[in-house]
Amino acid sequence: MAVAPKITPEVLKKRRSLDERQKELEREARAIAKEKSAIDADLKTALEKAGKTSLARGGFRVSLVAGRPSVSWKGEFIKVATAQVAAEIEANAPRPPRLEVTEDAGSRR
């Protein structure tokens, strides 16, 4: 039989410290995601105003590419139809544009 680990005040303090650090990092990650989302919205708007789907700047390429199809009602639909019909509808669903930023090997910085 394995010996159970001891629950000591040090282990509990460490656990609490890790929990606090995790919450702090999650708050920081949410702030970063919000800032990135705002930049992405600006980039998408700039591409749309320029009438382009791709643009190279400063060694990077920003492009609008086909996103993953999304059918939010799929679960409810399967209740009244078949999974096969739902799969066919999903395969034919529109693919909303997704912003992609990559390093552009062909341009100079």
Most confidently modeled range among 3-7, 31-35, 45-49, 55-59: 31-35
Q: pLDDT tens digits for 39-72?
A: 999 999 999 999 999 999 999 999 998 877 666 7
Q: How far is CA 62 from CA 8, 59, 90, in A?
A: 53, 10, 27
Q: What is the mean pLDDT of the chain?
A: 85
Question: 């680990």: which residue's tokens?
Answer: 5
How far is the C-alpha of 32 from the C-alpha of 37, rounded, in Å? 8
pLDDT reported for residue 44: 92
Tokens of 66: 């086909």
Question: What pTM was estimated for this model as a whole?
Answer: 0.59
Note the pLDDT of residue 107.
57
More confident residue, 100 or 58: 58
